[in-house]
Amino acid sequence: RGIPAYQRALNCNRGELLQDKPIFESKKLIRCIANYDAGWTKMRHVIGRFWPLLTQDLHLKDIIPPKGTYQCGRCVACMYIAKGSKTLTNSTDSDTINVRQFFNCNTTGIVYLLTCKCGLKYVGKTIRPFKKRIMEHVHS
């Protein structure tokens, strides 16, 4: 069905796949655990507003995801994301746009740039997860 992870698994040696692999500690996620409060929405907005300040903190910057575009690796939409890109370039006038936040296919509320096979570019925006919107483009 063209699923990249499945294709990679088919190309692997069965013996290698059955061997025990060392356990790597994945990147730690920042979790905000608090009792329910009606002011949670306001608190979330304050954290979002001052997120750039938090990324400069000496202790927090190591666990906050890096800026740029990344693939989750678990969905079909990942093949349409430029992996690890920190800039977008406009081919007509060579303008570059810096990606200022962490972005993957689950990110919501974004402005995105699509490049068609024919070379045309399309700028769109969505408040839904990017993977849902990109799949609508693919199916149309």
Please report, rounded to a whole number, the percentage of residues in the chain having pLDDT higher than 70: 86
The whole-number pLDDT of residue 91 equals 66
> Backbone dihedral region of 54: left (phi > 0), alpha (psi from -120 to 50 degrees) or beta?
alpha
How many whole angstroms separate alpha carbon 92 and alpha carbon 123? 14
Nearest to 79 by CA among 136, 131, 13, 16: 131
Contact 91, 121 (CB under 8 A): yes
Tell me the β-bridge partners of 122.
114
| Whether the predicted model's global pTM rises above the 0.75 cut | no
Q: What average pLDDT does this structure show over 107-120?
A: 82
Contact 133, 113 (CB under 8 A): no
Contact 85, 69 (CB under 8 A): yes
Q: What average pLDDT does this structure show over 39-59?
A: 77
